[in-house]
Amino acid sequence: MKEDQTRRRRPRSDGRKNRERLLETARTAFGSGEIDIPLDEIARRTGVGIGTLYRHFANRDALIEAVYRDELNRLAAAATRLAETHAPVEALRAWLNLFVDYIATKQVIAPALNSLIGGTDAIYADSRTVLTAAVGGLVTRAIESGDIRPDIEPVDLLCALGGVSNYATGPGWEPRAKRLVDVLIAGSRPEG
Amino acid sequence: MKEDQTRRRRPRSDGRKNRERLLETARTAFGSGEIDIPLDEIARRTGVGIGTLYRHFANRDALIEAVYRDELNRLAAAATRLAETHAPVEALRAWLNLFVDYIATKQVIAPALNSLIGGTDAIYADSRTVLTAAVGGLVTRAIESGDIRPDIEPVDLLCALGGVSNYATGPGWEPRAKRLVDVLIAGSRPEG
Amino acid sequence: MKEDQTRRRRPRSDGRKNRERLLETARTAFGSGEIDIPLDEIARRTGVGIGTLYRHFANRDALIEAVYRDELNRLAAAATRLAETHAPVEALRAWLNLFVDYIATKQVIAPALNSLIGGTDAIYADSRTVLTAAVGGLVTRAIESGDIRPDIEPVDLLCALGGVSNYATGPGWEPRAKRLVDVLIAGSRPEG
Amino acid sequence: MKEDQTRRRRPRSDGRKNRERLLETARTAFGSGEIDIPLDEIARRTGVGIGTLYRHFANRDALIEAVYRDELNRLAAAATRLAETHAPVEALRAWLNLFVDYIATKQVIAPALNSLIGGTDAIYADSRTVLTAAVGGLVTRAIESGDIRPDIEPVDLLCALGGVSNYATGPGWEPRAKRLVDVLIAGSRPEG
DNA sequence: CATGAATGAGGGTTCATTCAT
DNA sequence: GATGAATGAACCCTCATTCAT
């Protein structure tokens, strides 16, 4: 696993591009709720053979995992950035809104969330850590600054937002999810 | 003679009982996250032949729909009852907690919620109406009594709770979902 | 699970016949050297759907195993019969000739033999026992009657014959295999 | 793996050497029973690209054939040598033991034997000639010297030994195969 | 009404072979 | 010459659905 990095020859530029494009197709498909999309179809939409898909991703799970990991890394990076540039509550609010944006078109986060609490799937262990760390840090800062109650469970905020974006896929759902961000933050105030 | 018996008797109790037991098996399975359980397996667990399952439910979707409708009806009934016996906010809070209880063991609600806003699946049209009416009524009463802001979208409360119960399947998730009920109501107050 | 035994109904005569016919097709195919015949093709030749094949045999290995077991049982039965009706050496000779007849058209025995000594596949444990017992008994009798040397390894006789029938599939190979039976017995005599 | 590094520097590997090494890898693999080893894997183990394998061997069959031909040539050479240095029966016995040694680790001979009699595969025509000539010559000498019966079919001796080495892959099989050489020669004596 | 054998489309995966670099 | 990415046919297996008994 780790040594793969070391050992693996530099992929041809073609190969890299294909990997990227397959990920993109998968991300889009999963995001549109086509969770059961056949791998054949992903390959077809990407314009490559099914064998090429398998060259890049050992099996269905590997592809799904890659999509997750990708998304989560972007979110984690954003958390760090926001913490450095905003006041505690606003950083949290901004990141939650970003979180909404991400899961907006890509419900891919779901399975990662799924394992946030009792997940047994070892594959998501990393993902869990990454995401938990991201919200956790922002919430801690907001607790320390006295803007939200200390008994708030960071992960639950994500779950709640995940719920909205998950169940509400129609047009106009996004503003509503963002309004929920405000409700959640308001409800989490010390006096709240 | 014979005709008398035919005419007079209501559908065999056997048939009814089987239908009920199949529903129960399916509900339990779906609730345990076994969303992809084969129909064969549902029949087997129920102790009937697969043909019997098909006698009662035309196809997989019909079975799933029946499970949904069943659950939703119970929730709707509870909403009515609570509205008659509790103060507005408390009725809402109580019903949301009940909602949590339901989805606790049965995430089956998910797909129904899924179509709450933009769903195109005609099958859930009824379900949607039922559920929307249930929360809608309770929220309206709470708005009228001035306990929550008028711009709160009832359905979003459900989505948020659905998210927690959906993503958090481990032990101890339930108290957390109920704490979220309080956060949501607190965040929905006029001054919130 | 446990109740399976209890619950299992007598297979329909249809089902039985299909199972028998699938076995027959498989036996013939394997025997003709078509060891890699796709299961699809076996189903097609039998005139049933692929699903039917899978209803009777859980997977490729299960089918192969069934064919083996079938053959071996017949051979075992023959050994018992011959021991009761022939003099020791002649019983052995007759059975070896029979063995030739069997493997003549069905190299299916190969894998079973394969595990006779160092085989690790648990599936063939039974088969091994059956076959070893069959020759073993006959050879022991011949040793006791002083017709063959005590250091003869029964299984090797089978391997040798298996080799001929395995490698020599052309016309006229059968008389040669039977001549080998005589060579082997002659070479196994005390004075030999 | 590690050898990657070693290999990498080599500016232009000698075509001959690659061919040789690929043959060696294939021989070893086939000999270990990995009859279905993917060509990818053979290339990988050899430390060359799959394309290189295809440069040397037009397709899977060509590689297999090359392995066979190689082995058979060595056996043929040994037959000539032994005939010049041993008495007839002993030359035969020695060669048969050698034959055992060869097939000991390499069951590759099997398919070649397979076509010894009725094989229709044109590719093995040569191989057949080579092998038949080798045993044939030795047996003829032994018949002429009166040490074995004239009705012995040389090829059957090989088949028998092939059977043992083929089916008996466990430890200790080799002495047994050699004991069978003696049984076969004893059983082939004129008075046998 | 109940049963379960039969069906076959379709999904995941493997691997021989080709070909652009 | 060498490389390895790409291809896709073909295989194993699952499962929703039908229908004869």
D33 vs C: CB within 8 A: no
pLDDT tens per residue, range D51-98: 999 999 999 988 988 887 787 788 889 999 999 999 999 999 999 998
User: Are A72 and A94 in the same domain?
Assistant: yes
Q: Which residue has the higher pLDDT, C65 or D150?
A: D150
Each as own residue / partner, the long-range contacts of residues B117-122 (CB below 8 Å, 24 or more positions apart, any chain) are B117/A167, B117/A168, B117/A169, B117/A170, B117/A172, B117/A173, B117/B155, B118/A168, B118/A169, B118/A170, B118/A171, B118/A173, B119/A170
pLDDT of amino acid D73: 83
Q: Which residue has the higher pLDDT, D160 or C3?
A: D160
pLDDT of amino acid D8: 44
Q: Which residue has the higher pLDDT, A96 or C163?
A: A96
Q: Is residue D63 part of a domain?
A: no
Which of 108-127 (D) contact C at CB < 8 A?
A: 110, 113-114, 116-119
- CATH code at B11? 1.10.10
- CATH code at A141? 1.10.357.10
- Probe site for chain A from B124, B158, B167, B178 (most A CB atoms < 10 A): B167
B136 vs A: CB within 8 A: no
- Does the pLDDT value for residue D27 go beyond 50? yes
User: Rounded mean pLDDT of chain D?
Assistant: 80
pLDDT of amino acid A114: 53
pLDDT tens per residue, range D144-181: 999 999 988 888 898 888 777 766 656 677 788 888 99
- Does the pLDDT value for residue C73 go beyond 50? yes
B near D: at least 3 beta-carbon pairs less than 8 Å apart: no
- Taking CA–CA distances from B183, the nearest residue in chain A reads A187
User: Are A53 and A74 in the same domain?
Assistant: no
User: Are A46 and A107 in the same domain?
Assistant: no
CA of A134 to C1' of F4 (A): 39
Q: Which residue has the higher pLDDT, C128 or D99?
A: D99
Q: Is residue A192 part of a domain?
A: no
User: Are D88 and D17 in the same domain?
Assistant: no
Distance (Å, whole) CA C104 – CA C32:
10
What mean pLDDT do residues C110-134 have? 62
Integer CA distances (angstroms), D87 to D83, D90, D140, D143, in order:
7, 5, 12, 12
What is the domain range of residue D23?
10-57
Counted domains in chain A: 2
User: Are D40 and D116 in the same domain?
Assistant: no
Which nucleotides of strand E come closer than 7 angstroms to any CB of the protein?
Answer: 1-21
User: Are C89 and C181 in the same domain?
Assistant: yes
Last residue of a domain, one of B41, B57, B73: B57
pLDDT of amino acid C117: 44
pLDDT tens per residue, range A172-189: 777 888 899 999 999 988
Q: Which residue is nearest to nucleotide F17 (CA to C1')?
A: B59
Q: Is residue D192 part of a domain?
A: no
CA of C55 to C1' of F12 (A): 14
Residue D146 is given by DSSP the state: T
Q: Is residue D99 part of a domain?
A: yes
Q: Which of B113, B119, B170 sits opposite A118 (nearest CB)?
A: B170
Buried b (16+ CB within 10 A) or exposed e, A22-45: bbebbbbbbbeeeeebebeebbeb
Share of chain A above pLDDT 90, in %: 38
Q: Which residue is nearest to nucleotide E17 (CA to C1')?
A: D59
User: Are A80 and A31 in the same domain?
Assistant: no
CA of C138 to C1' of E13 (A): 47
Q: Which residue has the higher pLDDT, B164 or D20?
A: D20
In DSSP notation, A139-159 reads HHHHHHTTSS-TT--HHHHHH
User: Are C136 and C164 in the same domain?
Assistant: yes
Confidence bin at A89 (pLDDT 50/70/90):
very high
User: Rounded mean pLDDT of chain C?
Assistant: 80
- Residues 158-177 of chain B in contact with strand E via CB under 7 angstroms: none
User: Are A76 and A144 in the same domain?
Assistant: yes
Q: Is residue A10 part of a domain?
A: yes
User: Are A143 and A163 in the same domain?
Assistant: yes
User: Are B102 and B168 in the same domain?
Assistant: yes
Distance (Å, whole) CA A192 – CA B165:
23
Q: Is residue A62 part of a domain?
A: no
Q: Is residue C2 part of a domain?
A: no
Q: Is residue D124 part of a domain?
A: yes
Integer CA distances (angstroms), D190 to C183, C186, D90, D95, D148, in order:
11, 11, 16, 20, 5
Name residues whose C-beta falls within 8 Å of residue B57's C-beta, 6 or more positions apart in sequence: B22, B63, B66
Distance (Å, whole) CA B101 – CA B174:
8
Name residues whose C-beta falls within 8 Å of residue D58's C-beta, 6 or more positions apart in sequence: none
Last residue of a domain, one of A14, A33, A57: A57
- Does the pLDDT value for residue B45 go beyond 70? yes
User: Are A26 and A108 in the same domain?
Assistant: no
